[in-house]
Each structure stands twice: as structure tokens, then as C-alpha cells.
A and B are shown apart, each in its own frame.
Chain A
């Protein structure tokens, strides 16, 4: 059974720092891996989707990497800003039906 874990549960950094969020999964037979952002009291917004055949994906200051053999993904945020404060979740689909298994999330606070 696929399990997804995110460490740490919470992270607080000063503005301007580069940071890395971690996601690990137990079954390497994945179709893709997604990173979502969740603002307090809001729904989830997809940030990046990495296909199983890709090593990384970039969007602006965000870079997500995928290492299937080790069951790990990282989300790198460059030059963090207070507006980046949110909860970040990673998820993998159980099949091609779109059902997702989520990690517990990392709540990020970027202090001015």
C-alpha cells in the first residue's frame, strides 16, 4: 500500500532564504507526483506535476525534483517571500484514475 510522508510538519524561515520541502513515498511505481499549495481556509491549488519519466519540473521560483528509485521528491523554493506562507502537500495517484494519496503536508511560515 502506497504511503506518502512529508517532513518536517512545520517550517519557519526568514524572508529571502532558499528552502527545501521533502516528500517520500513507499511504492516507486508511480504515474506522477504533484505538489499542491493550500492557503488557510482554502482549497488546494496545483503547483507542479512531475511525470514518472521526468527528473524535475520548474515554475518560477519553484523547482520540484523526483527520484523514483529512492522514493523521494523535493520542492525547492528560491528567495522565499511572506506570500509563500502556506501548507504544501505532495500527492501521488494510486492509478490512472486520478485517486490521490497525500502526505500530511508541511506548513511553511516565511517571516518578513
Chain B
């Protein structure tokens, strides 16, 4: 039982490049989330998926797209990376009857 996994762990991009951050969970949770963490600002919600086949914007969705590929996988795509997207990205999953979210180890992204 690996919980929530994220790939890659670290990535360097040049401005304008694109990439997809991958997330998978093996807990059969319905809901999945993408957050970004910046110094002094805590975690902020980018997008979430309440269930397979649905996605919704969070607090800071601009510049990102998401795909809920199936119940296990939820990817985050940066179509044209900008230096402001330098951050640590966390994926999380949640099931209502368990009440707490489970977080992945994070992806550290540097955009030059």
C-alpha cells in the first residue's frame, strides 16, 4: 500500500516549456486534489476532482489544467511554464468516511 505517489520528484523547466505532473493513489479514494506550496503562504488549492470524471477549479487555477484519468490517477499540466509557477506541488486524496486527506511527497518545480 503505497498511499499517494507523485512523479517526478524534481523538475527544472525553461519559461514556455510544458510538462505534466503525475499523481496516483491506491486507497480507492473518490476525491483528489492538487495544491501548491510557496514560502510563507501555506498550501493553496489549484484544482480538485470530487469523483472520477469531474474536475473543478480551486483558489489558484490560472496556468494549469488537470485530467482525472481514472479513479487512481489525477494529473496536473502546465502548458506554458512561467517563473511564477516555481513551487512545490502536492497531490492529495480523500474519502469522506475517513475525514483526513492523504498527501503525496511533493514535486519540486523550478521554472527559469
Contact = CB atoms under 8 A, between A and B. Distances in A.
Size category, B interface = 20 to 34
Contacts of A45: 103
Nearest to A5: B42
A104 B101 contact: no
A110 interface: no
Interface stretch (A11-19, A65-73, A74-82, A95-103): A95-103
Contacts of A98: 31, 33, 48, 94, 96, 101
Size category, A interface = 20 to 34
Contact of B40 (A44, A96, A104): A104
A89 B43 contact: yes
A31 to B, nearest CB: 9
Interface string A16-57: 000000000000000010101000011111100100000000
Nearest to B9: A41
A43 B105 contact: yes
A99 B103 contact: no
Contacts of A41: 106
Contact of A102 (B4, B43, B104): B43
B42 A102 contact: yes
A4 interface: yes
Nearest to B51: A97
A36 B103 CA distance: 10
Can you list the 9 inter-chain pairs with the closest CB atoms, starting with the nearest? A98-B94, A102-B42, A43-B103, A44-B103, A102-B43, A46-B100, A104-B42, A43-B105, A98-B31
11 contacts: A9-B40, A36-B103, A42-B106, A43-B106, A45-B103, A46-B102, A89-B43, A99-B48, A100-B43, A100-B45, A102-B42
